[in-house]
Amino acid sequence: MKCTAVTEWLPHYIEGLLSPEAERELTRHIEGCPGCARWLEEARAMEQIWKEMDGDDELRLSFGGPDLVPPVMAEIERLEDARRSNNTQDSPSRRRFALRTSWIHYGLAACLTFVLLEFGVFEQLGYGLTEINGHMSSSVTKLFGAQRTH
């Protein structure tokens, strides 16, 4: 078994959702691979932190930093009020300029995306999404419980 497969299946391994055969294979690999063993320790530590934060809103706020929602929402409201009070009508030339500017932004975004793809910046994106999906699905399962079909 390769290390990439181990890291992909690690969330399911921690939660005991793997078949006995797959669990034995992962255990055998982890016992022989110091990198994957460290990865497992870190994942278990993160799982513990996640479980501690699930029930404690005060801990979640202190761990994640200050609650920025109220000041950000107040600033958005202030900007909206200022925009409404100005209530300037767009002229045709202003609309053309905005349209041209938006196309330039789209072009630059496409070029930047191409350059980032060429340099391999998104190479690990698939793995990260798979890992996040594993964590989210296990959290949802814990929150709502396993669905039973009758």
Domain count, the chain: 2
Tell me what the mean pLDDT of segment 2-14 comes to: 85
pLDDT in tens, 84-135: 777 655 566 666 666 777 888 888 888 888 888 777 776 766 666 677 777 7
Does any domain span residue 38? yes
Both tokens of 141, joined, read 């399962």
What angle, 0 to 180 degrees and rounded to 10, lies between the N-to-C axes of helices 34-55 and 3-14?
Answer: 30
Assess whether pLDDT exceeds 70 at residue 2: yes
- How far apart (Å, rounded) are the C-alpha atoms in residues 123 and 87? 46
Distance of CA 135 to the CA centre of its chain: 10
pLDDT in tens, 43-81: 888 888 777 766 655 554 555 556 677 888 888 888 888
Does any domain span residue 126? yes
Q: pTM of this prediction?
A: 0.37
What mean pLDDT value characterizes the chain? 77
Helix (H) or strand (E) holding 124: none
Would you mind telling me the total number of residues written for the chain in this entry?
A: 150
Q: Residue 50: which CATH number?
A: 1.10.10.1320
> In degrees, to the nearest 5, what angle opens at C-alpha 2 toward C-alphas 115 and 38?
90
Q: Which domain holds residue 16?
A: 1-66
Q: Which pLDDT does position 93 carry in this prediction? A: 63
Helix (H, G, I), strand (E, B) or coil at 31: helix
User: Phi-psi category of 87—alpha, beta or left, where left has phi over 0 and alpha has psi -120 to 50?
Assistant: left
